[in-house]
Each structure stands twice: as structure tokens, then as C-alpha cells.
Structure 1
Amino acid sequence: MTVDAQNPGRTVTTPIAAAYPEMAGKTAVITGAARGMGAQFARGLATRGVNVVGGDINDTQMKETAQQINAELATESLVAQPGTVVGARVDVTDPDEHEALAQVALREFGRIDFWINNAGVFPFALVDDITREQIALTLDVNVEGVLFGAQAASRHMEQGGAIVNMSSVSALRVRKGRGAYCTSKAAVAHLTESLAVELGDKGIRVNSIAPGYIDTEMTRWVQEDPAALARALDSVPLHRLGAPEEVFGPLLFLLSDSARYVTGHSIAVDGGSRHV
């Protein structure tokens, strides 16, 4: 791991080297996988032999991302037989489209072992300015999208399956202007616990990951404002932004057999910012 000399707040990381041989040949469904962390998740899992169905409302970009990852896997992989990434469209606010996404996985690969509810929106508005439309969209995508994804996954997973939801450090630490977002992510954290309790009867584990400031499109507004970046880094004990690879590492663990007795938890990947 090295620090970018041109931007001390950003860290240039090498790929996560951890490998879990038992995951090869299994199938993962990932929503919001056309770019950002979702694309990183798809690439990282496929590199380890996991077949991936990536869903995104922008199906054109999703299919381009899938093609790019598959091309990379032809020359770069941690296993002899890398996985295949298939792109499809999904509107996560529609439960029928989650079911259609599940059917793509079953048709292409015959099974669903992992489901990652990654799709989300990140609206800004001070409390007095939050509109009915904004709060409705935020809850529809960030909360109902998780619920509908978990429902589709649980219908088709066998015992031993794993669901991972994307929460946020904002579920624990409120930020001005993010009232709708913080509320939705707090709901995701609590919904994760409810899902873990109920789906445990089926032998399905459910956990969530709560990222902090990660170097993705969602944090460009911070990186493009020197004052905002300085404030953000002051609130992170490690004094840098995280990299998408550093979120992928905990995801890989939660999906693996190493976490087979871990369910109902939220892992913060935030450089310690929730404590400041």
C-alpha cells in the first residue's frame, strides 16, 4: 500500500490477495454493478472463479462493464478457471425485476450462492428542503431495493447462501444535508438484522458493510473541494480515503466459509471515522 504523492488523502492500493478456494464455481448476483464498488466487486469475485450476474438500471453500461471484466480475466486471474460476468438490467425498486435478475443467474449458471445489494442513491438536501419525491426515491432504492433483493435471493438460494447489503457509516454518524440518505442507511442496518433472524431458518446468512469515505464517484464532491476534503480527512483517524478494494476485502470474507457463523452484523470500513 502506498500513498499518492499528488494527493496525500488518497491511497493507491494493490489488489486484495486473499483467496477462498471454496468460492470457485459459485454464482453471485450484484446490483448497481455497472461502475464504482459494484464493478469492483464483480471483478474481484470473477477473478477468484465466481460467476457473476451484474444488474444495473443502466443496462448498456452494465453490459460494457461485463465485457471489459471478461476481457481482463482472459489474461489476469487468481485461479485457472475465472468466473464469467453477465450484465443485465434491473430497477431495484421493482420486485419483479429482482426476480428476473435471479432468473438470469439460474439460466446462465444454474444456481445462486451470493447476493450483494449494492445499488443506491446519495441525495443531498437540508432537512427543510427534503421533498416527498426525494425521500420516497431514497427509501425506494436504498431500503426497498435491499428488501426485494433479499426476497428474490432467499427464494432460490440453498442452505449456506450469503446475502450482503451495503449500509454506510452514515447509519451511525449523521451528516448535514444527508438526512434522507442517513435515514435510509440506518434502515438498511436494521433490516439486515431482521433478515438475518428470519432467513437463518433457511441456513442463509445476512450481513452488511458500512463504508465511510471511499474513493468512488459518490465522494467526488469531497475530493473536488479542498476544504471539504480537509474536514473529511480530519474526521478519519487513518487520515485518508479508502479504496474500493478495501471494501471488497470484508465482502469477500463475509461471503466465504470463513464467516459461516457470522450473520446479522454490520462491518464498518471507514478508517475509524465512526468514532470521531
Structure 2
Amino acid sequence: MTSYEPTGSGRVLHQPVTARYPELPGKVAVITGAARGMGARFAAGLATRGVDVVAGDINGEAMTATAEELNAANGSLEEKPGRIVASTVDVTKPEEHLALARRAVDEFGRIDFWVNNAGIFPFAEVADISAEQIRATLSVNVEGVLFGAQAAAAHLRPGGAIVNMSSVSAVRVRRGRGAYCSSKAAVAHLTESLAVELGDQGIRVNAIAPGYIDTEMTRWIQDDAPALAKALEAVPLHRIGSPEEVFGVLLFLLSDSARYVTGHSIAVDGGSRHV
């Protein structure tokens, strides 16, 4: 039976994704921003399906703790596919992406997938966006994607895949999120550029554009009942999404089922993009 967990006045479907793709075990993925939230969920979900993961985060201690916890839960051993290796990475620095790629090759001998998940979510009204805020947002959210894709492209073979994290904010304005929205619009367009140019190498590049998802990033609205009710009016499914539902799309995009899908931003937003 499908189960729901209440969150404010919305509902969150936390039923695990059951899809299995037999070609995935033994593959190797690199994920940035994986110490918590969506990145940690991606790492856990791929590892349980036999994908080895090099998980990077700017908070190395938190990343190590998360990797140890997930490996213990998955029963991962040195000789068993599905191991998560923690690494520290500042995505604003191209040389650290290159080091992350080398770590993956040293540990597992190859890279099949690269997930540019790291990002920041600043708030400021347009008049108050500082030079420091816009620079930091574009550096992490956009340059981080570009540098990650560059590092990945040097190692991925034909059939490899890159997935970037965009947002429905790329096409919808949210007050107080001007820096964030503009950065995600850039990610969506950069994804198309990468798909065109890396297609020559047989590499697919797509983006996922989540809407309201049950993570720490949306805790502010889930804790504000009137704001949540207003937000859900613009969601045809009338509920918050779950990380599992975003992971399901990631799983598809990495699989052979999406082998002719590239250059797209796939919304996981309960239909809110269309309202």
C-alpha cells in the first residue's frame, strides 16, 4: 500500500523507488555535495544498486561520517560493488574536480557517471543582493557544474552520463531568490551546451529540476503553514515531493533506458511548472 507522511498541510510520498536497472551494478559514479540532503540520497540509492560512488563535499568530516553510515547500512565491503568513498571537494576550484576524478579512477579504475549536485540557496531581495552573494552563487551553482563536467569529460567513455541539478526556479521567479533563480537558469542552458558539445564523445548530459522537495532546503516553507498552503496551490498534485522521487529520475537518466535522452531539464515538481 502507498503510504504518506504528513508535512505541514502537504503530504510527502516516501515510498522507496523500486526500479532496478541490471546494467548499473559495477558502474562508478562521482557525486558532489553528497554529505547530506539530496546528494546523500543519491549516493545511498546508487550504492544499494551496486554502483561504486566517490562522494565529495566541501565539509570533509561530514562527508566521511555520511559515507561510513551509508556503507554500514549497505553492508559494503572492499570486494563488493556499491561502496561509497568520501572525498573533500570545493566545487569552485577546477583543480579539486580533477583531483576528485583522479580519486575515482584510483579507487575504481573508471568513471561512468558524474552528478553535479552541490549548490547553495541564498536569500536576498533584489535591492539587497551583494556582489559577494551573486559571485558566490554563480561560482558554486554554475562554475561548479562547468568544472565538474570538464573533469568528467576527460574520463567518461561513450555511453557515460552527466546529470546536473537545476531547479524549477530556472523558469519561475521566486521573491528573494534572484541570485539563485538566475544561477539555475544558467545551469539549464549550460546543460544544453554541454550536451551538444560532449555528444561528439558519446556523452549524455541532462539536468533535473526539482520543485518543492522534502529536504532541509525547503524546511523554511514547511514550517510556515500559510506559506506552504499557498505554495501547494501551485502544485497540481497538491503535496511536497520526496528525495526518493528525484532519485527515481536520476536513476532513469543514468540508465540505458535514457541512452537517447540528452540536453534536457526534467522537472520533478508535481506539475507546478505548468500552473
TM bucket normalised to smaller: over 0.9
Amino acid at match of 1:161: G
Q: What's the offset of the Cα at 1:258? A: 0.5
Q: What's the offset of the Cα at 1:204? A: 0.3
1:223-259 CA-to-partner distances (Å, cap 9, x unmatched) read 1111111111111111110000000001000000000
The corresponding residue for 1:68 is 69
Structure 1 unpaired stretches of 5+: 76-80
The corresponding residue for 1:78 is none
The corresponding residue for 1:118 is 117
Amino acid at match of 1:190: H
Change (3 A) 1:208 1:6: closer
Amino acid at match of 2:195: A
Amino acid at match of 1:42: A
Please list every run of at least 4 consecutive aligned residues from structure 1 whose deviation after the TM superposition is greater than 3 angstroms.
Answer: 5-8
1:217-232 maps to which residues of 2 (within 5 A)? 217-232=216-231
1:23 aligned counterpart, secondary structure: coil
2:114 aligned counterpart, secondary structure: strand
TM-score normalized with structure 2 length:
0.96
225-234 vs 210-219, which moves further: 225-234
> How many residue pairs get matched?
272
Q: What's the offset of the Cα at 1:5? A: 4.7
Q: What's the offset of the Cα at 1:7? A: 4.0
Change (3 A) 1:8 1:113: same
Structure 2 unpaired stretches of 5+: none
In 1, the alpha carbon distance for the partners of 2:6 and 2:70 equals 29
| Partners of 2:13 and 2:241 within 8 A in 1 | no
Q: What's the offset of the Cα at 1:104? A: 0.7
1:9-32 CA-to-partner distances (Å, cap 9, x unmatched) read 131422100011101101000000
The corresponding residue for 1:9 is 10
| Partners of 2:6 and 2:12 within 8 A in 1 | no
The corresponding residue for 2:147 is 148
1:21-100 maps to which residues of 2 (within 5 A)? 21-74=22-75, 81-100=80-99
| Partners of 1:73 and 1:82 within 8 A in 2 | no
Amino acid at match of 2:57: D
1:153 aligned counterpart, secondary structure: helix
Amino acid at match of 1:31: T
193-202 vs 3-12, which moves further: 3-12
1:195-246 CA-to-partner distances (Å, cap 9, x unmatched) read 0000000000000000000000100110111111111111111111000000
The corresponding residue for 1:264 is 263
The corresponding residue for 2:247 is 248
Instruction: Calculate percent identity across the aligned residue pairs.
Output: 72
In 2, the alpha carbon distance for the partners of 1:6 and 1:191 equals 34
151-160 vs 12-21, which moves further: 12-21
| Partners of 1:13 and 1:245 within 8 A in 2 | yes
